[in-house]
Amino acid sequence: MKKISIQNMDGTMEEVDLLNSFIINDINRHFVILSKGENAGEGMCKIYVSEAIEMSPGVYKLVGIEDDTVWQKVKEAMKQIVES
């Protein structure tokens, strides 16, 4: 699994597992699905989905998804990833 360094919203740096990344072309934004290896119970791993802005090669700043329309598009993209 690929590891990337991210800059959290509070400015701290963290290394995480990059599970998947995708671009939603009609809004021209890049999103990532990440894991910190945290247990979510029942054998599942907690995941994080965020917009990613590349600050420098291999270093990303995560931006929360606050717009409901954007979140709908992200959920549709993730569904397509799971189904493929």
Higher pLDDT, 78 or 11: 78
Q: What pLDDT is attached to residue 67?
A: 95
Q: What distance in Å separates the CA atoms of residue 28 and residue 46, rounded to the nearest whole number? A: 27
The domain locations on the chain are 2-83
Please tell me the predicted confidence (pLDDT) of residue 62: 82
At 48, list the tokens: 């994080």
- What is the structure's pLDDT at 59? 74
For the whole model, what pTM was predicted?
Answer: 0.81
Closest CA to 33 of 83, 82, 70: 82
Residue 7 pLDDT > 80, yes or no? no
3-class SS at 13?
Answer: strand
pLDDT in tens, 17-70: 999 999 999 999 999 999 999 999 999 999 999 998 888 887 777 889 999 999
Q: What is the DSSP string of 28-65?
A: TEEEEEEEEEEEEETTEEEEEEEEEEEEETTEEEEE--
